[in-house]
Chain A
Amino acid sequence: MTVLRWGVVAAGFVSLGALTVLVRKALSRRYPAFHSDPQGRASRGIAYALGRGLLPWEKESARLHLGAYLGGIVYHLGVFAGFGILGALTFEVNLPPLVWTAFRLAGGFGLAAGLGLLAKRAVKPHARRLSCPDDFGANIFVDVFLAAALAASFRSEAVPLFLGYSIFLLLYVPVGKIRHCFFFFLSRISFGRFFGWRGALPPPRGEVGR
């Protein structure tokens, strides 16, 4: 057990280190300097991109695919809960029962949402053809992680299996699609900066017919 716990910690460091290298490598490239005079404020665009701009009614794509969009949010909340469970079991933290319940609920809903998104990707022809094996694999790996986290949160016999599997998942993160988790925030910041600088974002509130 102790070996597995140390394994999780080591895999976490390896994963974080590899992700940091990837991000630093990306950011070491020339960053758009924006020599033009601003018309708006990049900071306002960034604040929009990371805040109001994430709300489903701000984006037509989210409004049209509300189920998938909300499913995605629930899925990612579940992943955070899964990592919460992993942290608690790795470091043997005594969490209050209410927190365990919250983690289990979020993990359970997250797993259901993940399976739903997996089914959507597999069943819808365009989604299937747009996907590569990694798109399915990443989803399945995370779903298994959530299922294992839930099992481990209820039954101590499942903890070694969960910790062992988590080592694999952590090591996989920087290799495949799951690494988007690190790039997501950078992408949103870049988006907000670009449109904020040009004064195109944030859009005015309450305009009719947008």
Chain B
Amino acid sequence: MTGKECLDRLRPEDFKTAVRRLAEALDASSVVNLESCVRCGLCAESCHYYLDDGDLRSIPAAKLNLVIRVFKRHLSPGGRMLRKWTGAREFDAAEVREWIDSLYGRCTLCGRCALNCTMGINIPAVIRKARGVLASLGLVPEGLDSTVDLARDSGNNMGISKSEWVETVAWLEEELQAETGDPSARLPLDASGADFLYLVNPREPKFYPLTLTAVGKIFHAAGTKWTMSSDFFDVTNYAYYSGDDSIAALISSRTKETAKRLGVKSIVLSECGHGFVSNRWEAPEWLSAETGFKVQSVLQLVAGYIHEGRLRFDPARNPKPVTLHDPCNLVRLGGIVEEQRFILRQAVSHFVEMIPNREQNYCCGGGGGQLAMTAFASRRRSAGRIKSEQIRRTKARIVATPCHNCLDQLAELNKHHKIGVEIKSVLELAAESLVLPGR
């Protein structure tokens, strides 16, 4: 059933149920946030959607206000008493339509507004909870909905079968051995005695196989004992974007069980922004317990290897100017800020920062589940203009980014906005300039 059909089938009691779900979903921080917004609108320019279209609905405070006015109408005594005066609104079909258009279609949950809010309101956290209410009504936009369902039903978001995955890894392992000239170079699956479980983005075996061999090459050079899983290998968790906490918890529990089964000490996450936030920060909340494993980004691991002197690079092999796009989930919401810069400074000859950068970077527009939601694709590409202009100003020839959603969106922006750059992952560039031991 499509989102529109679901919307048409909603009965009055469904709206009541949704309000109850909202009441349950809002924690103390969310309520404090909803009570704090003064609608000053200073957050407007922090959002790439607003910078692109100048539409009132794209102002973060306007998106937050959609939740505030329903909260006031149904869950706040002041709002219930003085509906018109406080701008309180009934949660009905018209309101739900606005929620879908704005909370799914005009937000990547990038968090730039939160950092720039004078009141300190965590706007994306509230929007994600509101998305959860829509998810409970079956109103997750098509594309994102099917991605989540596929991950729930097949174990990964692209529906890659176990045999296909195992065969792809075997093929890539041969490629790796040919490239390194070393038959002991491995892309191990279900290896016993490994130090860590490495989770990959299913896009890697499907569309970016070189990122997998790049990581294999780096781990081989560092002399690492690692493994991937033959079944639950997916680093992503698109339920983080749909707002459905029950599916998010299911996916997280599979990862935890897989790590337990393989007897590893830690979990290392491939270059994936929301995969990092989901596994590192949100999974323990969804599971209401520590995962029991050290969870880290592959960038932290590789930066550590460089510090230990286990990896050497020849930056002359990457002579073109390189700039870095900071994935919002990894940097602003994840706290991984300097590792990718440290790796690039070792691996390339000419590194140039975008401005603004780090926690103040602009979102590329590919997060928030936007790449999956076809209904909002043209808006997503248009909003990517801000990032495209930022890239152009650096005069770099290569854009590196440690996130597969960002890689896909930047590749699309490259064509759509005619930027004329190459898009690569950070570790691809690192692998290209890696000096293998004995060479």
A residues lining the B interface (CB < 8 Å) = 22, 26-37, 39-40, 49, 53, 59-62, 64-65, 68-69, 72, 125-127, 129-135, 137, 174-177, 179-180, 183-184, 186-188, 190-192, 194-195, 198-201, 203, 207-210
How far does the alpha carbon of A129 sit from the alpha carbon of B55 in the complex, in Å? Answer: 11
Residue from B38, B62, B294 in contact with A180 in the complex, judged by beta carbons closer than 8 Å: B38
B435 vs chain A, min Cβ distance (A): 30
Count chain B residues whose beta carbon lies closer than 8 angstroms to a beta carbon of A: 67
Q: In the bound complex, do residue B42 and residue A176 qualify as a contact, i.e. CB atoms below 8 Å apart?
A: no
B81 vs chain A, min Cβ distance (A): 7
As a 0/1 sequence over residues 102 to 128 of chain B, the CB contacts with chain A under 8 angstroms (1 = contact) are: 000000000000111111111001000
**What is the predominant secondary structure among interface residues of chain A facing chain B?**
helix
How far does the alpha carbon of A192 sit from the alpha carbon of B122 in the complex, in Å? Answer: 10
How far does the alpha carbon of A203 sit from the alpha carbon of B288 in the complex, in Å? Answer: 29
Residues of A with C-beta under 8 A to B69: 132
B285 on interface, CB distance cutoff 8 Å: yes
A123 vs chain B, min Cβ distance (A): 13
Can you pick out 23 interface pairs between chain A and chain B where the beta carbons lie within 8 Å of each other?
A: A29-B31, A31-B28, A32-B29, A33-B288, A39-B335, A60-B46, A62-B116, A64-B45, A68-B40, A130-B61, A130-B65, A133-B84, A175-B78, A176-B85, A180-B36, A180-B119, A183-B36, A187-B35, A187-B36, A190-B28, A195-B115, A198-B335, A200-B332
B360 on interface, CB distance cutoff 8 Å: yes
Closest to B39 in A: A130
Residues of A with C-beta under 8 A to B44: 61, 126
Q: In the bound complex, do residue B40 and residue A72 qualify as a contact, i.e. CB atoms below 8 Å apart?
A: yes
Q: In the bound complex, do residue B32 and residue A129 qualify as a contact, i.e. CB atoms below 8 Å apart?
A: no
B289 on interface, CB distance cutoff 8 Å: yes
Q: In the bound complex, do residue A176 and residue B33 qualify as a contact, i.e. CB atoms below 8 Å apart?
A: no
Q: In the bound complex, do residue B85 and residue A137 qualify as a contact, i.e. CB atoms below 8 Å apart?
A: yes
Residue from A31, A69, A125 in contact with B42 in the complex, judged by beta carbons closer than 8 Å: A69
Residues of B with C-beta under 8 A to A53: 120
A207 vs chain B, min Cβ distance (A): 6
Closest to A26 in B: B31
B353 on interface, CB distance cutoff 8 Å: yes
Residue from B87, B121, B280, B285 in contact with A187 in the complex, judged by beta carbons closer than 8 Å: B121
B112 vs chain A, min Cβ distance (A): 9
Q: Tell me the B351-371 residues at the A interface (CB within 8 Å).
A: 353-360
Q: In the bound complex, do residue B28 and residue A198 qualify as a contact, i.e. CB atoms below 8 Å apart?
A: no
Which among B32, B81, B331 has the greatest number of chain A C-beta atoms within 10 A?
Answer: B32
Residue from B39, B61, B118, B331 in contact with A59 in the complex, judged by beta carbons closer than 8 Å: B118
Residues of B with C-beta under 8 A to A60: 45-46, 116, 356, 360
Which 9 pairs show the lowest CB-CB distances between chains A and B?
A132-B87, A191-B120, A199-B335, A35-B284, A61-B116, A187-B36, A209-B355, A26-B31, A188-B120
Residues of B with C-beta under 8 A to A176: 78, 82, 85-86
B27 on interface, CB distance cutoff 8 Å: yes
Q: Tell me the B105-159 residues at the A interface (CB within 8 Å).
A: 114-122, 125
Additional A-B contacts beyond A64-B42, A191-B121 (12; CB < 8 A): A22-B35, A26-B31, A29-B26, A32-B28, A36-B281, A60-B360, A61-B43, A175-B82, A177-B86, A180-B36, A180-B38, A200-B359
Closest to A64 in B: B45
Residue from A37, A190, A199, A201 in contact with B32 in the complex, judged by beta carbons closer than 8 Å: A190
Residues of A with C-beta under 8 A to B429: none
- Known contacts A26-B28, A68-B40; decide if A175 and B119 are in contact (CB<8 Å): no
A172 vs chain B, min Cβ distance (A): 10
B123 vs chain A, min Cβ distance (A): 10
Q: Tell me the B59-94 residues at the A interface (CB within 8 Å).
A: 59, 61-62, 65, 69, 78, 81-82, 84-87
As a 0/1 sequence over residues 251 to 284 of chain B, the CB contacts with chain A under 8 angstroms (1 = contact) are: 0000000000000000000000000000011011
Residues of B with C-beta under 8 A to A69: 42, 118
A185 vs chain B, min Cβ distance (A): 9
Closest to B283 in A: A36
As a 0/1 sequence over residues 313 to 331 of chain B, the CB contacts with chain A under 8 angstroms (1 = contact) are: 0000000000000000001
B389 vs chain A, min Cβ distance (A): 15
Residues of A with C-beta under 8 A to B420: none
Q: In the bound complex, do residue A135 and residue B38 qualify as a contact, i.e. CB atoms below 8 Å apart?
A: yes
How far does the alpha carbon of A65 sit from the alpha carbon of B43 in the complex, in Å? Answer: 10
B41 on interface, CB distance cutoff 8 Å: yes
Residues of B with C-beta under 8 A to A177: 38, 86
Residue from B27, B45, B86, B358 in contact with A30 in the complex, judged by beta carbons closer than 8 Å: B27
How far does the alpha carbon of A132 sit from the alpha carbon of B73 in the complex, in Å? Answer: 13
Q: In the bound complex, do residue B335 and residue A32 qualify as a contact, i.e. CB atoms below 8 Å apart?
A: no
A135 vs chain B, min Cβ distance (A): 6
Q: In the bound complex, do residue B39 and residue A186 qualify as a contact, i.e. CB atoms below 8 Å apart?
A: no
How far does the alpha carbon of A11 sit from the alpha carbon of B385 in the complex, in Å? Answer: 53
Q: In the bound complex, do residue A61 and residue B335 qualify as a contact, i.e. CB atoms below 8 Å apart?
A: no
Residues of A with C-beta under 8 A to B46: 60-61
